[in-house]
Structure 1
Amino acid sequence: MTAIPKPAIPYDSRHEAEEEGEQETRAQLLHTLHGISATTYKDSGHASRSVHAKSHGLLRGHLHVLDGLAPELAQGIFAQPGRFEVVMRYSTIPGDLLDDKVSTPRGLAVKLIGVPGVQLSSLDPDADAADHDATTQDFVLVNGPAFLAPTARQFLGSLKLLASTTDKVPRLKQALSTVLQGVEKVLEAAGGDSGALKSLGGHPETHVLGETYYSQAPILYGQYMAKVAVAPVSPELAALKGAPVDLHGKPNGLRQAVMDFFARHSATWEVRVQLCRNMETMPLEDASVVWPEDESPYFAVARITALPQAGWSEALSRLVDDGMAFSPWHGVLAHRPLGSIMRVRKAAYRMSARFRFERTGHLMQEPRNLDDWPAG
């Protein structure tokens, strides 16, 4: 018999506490990320994201908020049934554009357009003026339930390690990735895994569409606190869970796999929410802790549907990769990011976007519709 979960805990500012030296950590984080962007820009002549530079899928869809949600789930933008346009961007972690044989964790950024509510940018004096009238909500997700590091300071250390590999010989990265994937398989066979190995190139060569993606760090969920996940549920998508992708001689094999899928299939994902029900086992300030699902299961609050489409193209890359920014701080007050990891990332996302847009000439503003979405 399934136990009834404890009630969700209402948010209280006392649940958050600034980490010692957090402002210095933030400054070093900005310096490190700016260095990655400057290095890749110098090499390629094209301004890319500091992390998650390479996209593998660029999709358009719709999100439908489910009917009849329980009161603790009917919060924020999910308070009432509704339908929003959605952009989905699949990516991998590095800040340089690598052969897919260098296999690293996968990311999914989701942007909802036309959402109601007070925007965080309208309350932020450092926000760009163009964002003050935004109507978007972003969820920035990775295919693992917990963050690589527990605190902002330790996150900085991991990022410096990743930054040190930027601009290194691609063939050496491929060789390292092959070795790390073998080590990771041994760890998983023994019942474990290593986020550090995966981040440096040891991630299994699996299909990006078969993964479940997680916010890892918590956000406000109306009057509560929660983590968010997006999971594949349509049969064709679910069949891709753990499915290998042949990347031999295919530097953009992940991208091609997404294009091949959407040439034939529609897709449906669930947006799921895990509410904080125990501050001891579900802390806000340690993003490396996996919140136990036996205490707080994930519940579906919405579905995203995408029809057959291009999946990726140069025109889509110009629109989304070059022309859009994704950040957990793009959104409404009811879903404000929580914890030190999220706080230091705020300025980092903004810096990365400004670096790109200053060099590409794109306007730094949130989309209000998808009327200019390329046909193919």
Structure 2
Amino acid sequence: MSTLTQYETLEPDEDRLVAEMIEAMHHQQEQDFPPGATGRAAHAKHTGLVKIAFAVEPSLPDHLRIGVFAEPRTYEGWLRFSSGNGKPQSDGVKDLRGAAIKLHDVPGDRIPESDEPTTQDFILLNTPAIPLGTVKLFHGVITLGQAKFAAKMLPTHPHVVAGLAKAVITPTSPADIPYWSNTASLLGPDLVVKYVLLPTSAYTSPKREKHDDYYLSDHLQEHLSQTEATFDFMVQVRTDPDTMPVEDIAVRWDEEKAPLVKVATVTIAQQDFRTAERNRLAEELTFSIAHALKDHRPIGAVARARMHIYGGMAAWRQQRDQRTKTI
């Protein structure tokens, strides 16, 4: 596993739990997908892969001018919106919603876990905290399955089951909701941070009584056919290690004690993303918190697990489907 930083502690049986999760996910993927068409183990269905411009703020305070945010420049990249389930399902089914950013041509030294030489990825979800706050809890839901895990946890941990139920949503559009990183990262050697993506578009999609199977993609395309979509990319610097842990992502960091600071603007220009080529890219691109500069090293047990699971699963998919990695 990864070398620990001064801000981290090893979770009991962490390596074994991660290995068992990868094995369980391989087994599930073999059941769900034929060779040559292996989908993701999570966030299998994308609701739009869009080109983005990531413009770093020109007047950041010195302590935030690190890594991607060091200079007031604009990066080109991709943003993959997705639904969390490991099997593609109707957009009308309540689910976790994801936003995965990949920036290109980012200079700097990478962490050892990265297998991409010039990218920086940020992975975010529609909930500010995940009730599955530890590797042990993630191991339970992956190895048992959601239904069995919920039944097992309900008598002793009802707040976990209730939190999971609250986190799944049917939003009007992927462009209309905020997203949070959940896991923490370093910002240089001295700061511990989380990231938030806040919607700022003038246009928002209308609410509708009926949610069709592809309504999220439909609404996003309708939006981008009329005007651009925008987000503010925010950083939250930890101010209190006791109440803002990195080893339990079920704990939301207090935004009054640790305010959000805008560090970049994400712009999705008008575009048609519903093409065969874009769909192919949405399946072949890999997004991982391990695609990171040393200045943005992900930290915490869940982050360490995700780096190894994402990398292992992506390599396994490519090998099983006999294709090379796309960057």
Using a 3 Å threshold, how does the CA distance of structure 1 residues 305 and 255 change in structure 2: closer, same or farther?
A: same
C-alpha contact (below 8 Å) 1:228/1:273 kept by paired residues? yes
Show the counterpart of 1:194: 162
| In structure 2, C-alpha distance between the alignment counterparts of 1:232 and 1:28, rounded to whole Å | 37
Q: Is 1:144 equivalent to 2:127 in the alignment?
A: yes
Show the counterpart of 2:315: 354
C-alpha contact (below 8 Å) 2:36/2:320 kept by paired residues? no
Show the counterpart of 1:372: none
Provide the secondary structure at the position in 1 that maps to 2:303.
helix
Using a 3 Å threshold, how does the CA distance of structure 1 residues 247 and 139 change in structure 2: closer, same or farther?
A: farther
Q: Is 1:159 equivalent to 2:142 in the alignment?
A: yes
Using a 3 Å threshold, how does the CA distance of structure 1 residues 356 and 311 change in structure 2: closer, same or farther?
A: same
Provide the secondary structure at the position in 1 that maps to 2:164.
helix
Q: Is 1:88 equivalent to 2:73 in the alignment?
A: no
Using a 3 Å threshold, how does the CA distance of structure 1 residues 193 and 340 change in structure 2: closer, same or farther?
A: closer
Show the counterpart of 1:40: 32
Show the counterpart of 2:229: 267
1:58 Cα shift?
Answer: 0.9
Paired residue type of 1:339: G
C-alpha contact (below 8 Å) 2:36/2:322 kept by paired residues? no
| In structure 1, C-alpha distance between the alignment counterparts of 2:207 and 2:317, rounded to whole Å | 33
1:268 Cα shift?
Answer: 1.4
Q: Is 1:58 equivalent to 2:20 in the alignment?
A: no
TM-score (normalised: structure 2): 0.89
Show the counterpart of 1:69: 60
- Structure 1 unaligned regions, length at least 5: 1-11, 166-191, 367-376
Provide the secondary structure at the position in 2 that maps to 1:72.
helix
Out of 16, 23, 30, the residue aligned to residue 15 of structure 2 is 23
Show the counterpart of 1:244: 207
1:161 Cα shift?
Answer: 4.8
User: Alpha-carbon deviations, 1:69-95, whole Å to 9, x = none?
Assistant: 012221221011111111000001111
| In structure 1, C-alpha distance between the alignment counterparts of 2:46 and 2:200, rounded to whole Å | 22
Provide the secondary structure at the position in 1 that maps to 2:53.
strand
Provide the secondary structure at the position in 1 that maps to 2:42.
coil
Aligned length: 312
Out of 189, 202, 206, the residue aligned to residue 235 of structure 1 is 202
| In structure 2, C-alpha distance between the alignment counterparts of 1:312 and 1:162, rounded to whole Å | 32
- 1:93-242 maps to which residues of 2 (within 5 A)? 93-120=84-111, 123-124=112-113, 131=116, 134-162=117-145, 194-198=162-166, 203-223=169-189, 224-236=191-203, 239-240=204-205
| In structure 1, C-alpha distance between the alignment counterparts of 2:207 and 2:21, rounded to whole Å | 34
C-alpha contact (below 8 Å) 1:53/1:91 kept by paired residues? yes
| In structure 1, C-alpha distance between the alignment counterparts of 2:309 and 2:209, rounded to whole Å | 34
C-alpha contact (below 8 Å) 2:172/2:219 kept by paired residues? no
C-alpha contact (below 8 Å) 1:34/1:351 kept by paired residues? no
Alignment RMSD (CA, Å): 2.2
C-alpha contact (below 8 Å) 1:357/1:363 kept by paired residues? yes
- 1:235-314 maps to which residues of 2 (within 5 A)? 235-236=202-203, 239-240=204-205, 244-248=207-211, 250-314=212-276
C-alpha contact (below 8 Å) 1:246/1:253 kept by paired residues? no
TM-score (normalised: structure 1): 0.78
Q: Equivalent pairs: percent with the same residue?
A: 29
| In structure 2, C-alpha distance between the alignment counterparts of 1:293 and 1:84, rounded to whole Å | 27
| In structure 1, C-alpha distance between the alignment counterparts of 2:70 and 2:262, rounded to whole Å | 13
C-alpha contact (below 8 Å) 2:17/2:136 kept by paired residues? yes
